[in-house]
Structures are given as C-alpha cells and as structure tokens.
Amino acid sequence: MNTDVCFLIGGIILFFILINVLLYFYHKNRRALFFRDIKGRNYRSIKNIETNIESYSKIGAKLTYYKAEIVFLDHEIFIIPFNKPILQLIHSPENFPYVSLRFNTSFKEIRNDILEIKGDTGLGNFKITLNFKHKNFDLHSVV
C-alpha cells in the first residue's frame, strides 16, 4: 500500500477524532454554563433517566434512545443528554441561554413512573418518554 494513501486515511481518521473531541468539550462547556446560569434558582435534577424521543414530520420519523439528565425548573423540563445539545420543553415564554432546541408541549401524562410528553417542534410533532422507574422520585410534585 502506498504511504500517501496511508497518510490520507490516517489524516481522515484523526480529523474525525478531533471533531468528536471538540464537540465533546463544546457540549460539556454549554452544560456547565447552563447550570451556572440556573444556580440560584430552585430546580431538581435526576441523572441517568432512560429517554425515548420520537419526532414525526412530513419528511419522515426519527427515534432516539439515550440516557440523560433531567432538570425540572419551575414549569420547565430540560433534557441534558451526554455529549448532545440541551433540549427545553417549553411551558412558559422564558428563554434560557445555552439551550439549543426548544419544544412546545401540549400534553403530559404520568403512568407507572413514566412521563409521556407530546407537542410540536415547528417542523412536526414529537413524543418524549422519560422512564423514572427505580429512581425514588415523585413525578407528581414537579409536573
């Protein structure tokens, strides 16, 4: 194999690793700034919640599964996945800095320690399921 081809392949791999490292630190910094911004406010944070996000639009559907930290602040719910943008489920018109995506909620329901939220993204509809089983957390106190 030619050495130029090896250097090209190595450079491409190194480039993708560098992009992932930069994205990791970018999202980690935004997360730290978000928590610094809400520091003086009364919020509840629960880590390692199983999250299922289904979004539907005219173009198609997308399913996403991951574990995330959920923050309840007043009537707002924030989903903070590891190394991904922060999602805000809007109930009031207040904008929070460092939040990348804002979804308008229209329906919330609690069944067997599972919170189901439905709403609109502007491009289509979404359904988010948050599994709070085995977390010893009272969902009725924050929703």
Q: Is the pTM of this model over 0.75?
A: yes
Sign of CA dihedral 66, 73, 32, 103: positive
Phi, psi of 112 (to 5 degrees): 50, 50
Class of domain 35-141: mainly beta
Instruction: Kindly report the number of other CB atoms within 10 A of residue 86's CB atom.
Output: 21
Task: Indicate the pLDDT class of residue 20, thresholds 50, 70 and 90.
Answer: very high
Mean pLDDT of 13-25: 94
Task: Indicate the pLDDT class of residue 8, thresholds 50, 70 and 90.
Answer: very high
For every residue of 61-130, DSSP letters joined together read EEEEEEEEEEEEETTEEEEEETTS--EEEESSS---TT--EEEEEEEEEEETTEEEEEEE-SSEEEEEEE
Q: What is the pLDDT of residue 1?
A: 64
| Per-residue pLDDT tens over the stretch 70-96 | 998 888 889 998 888 888 887 777 777
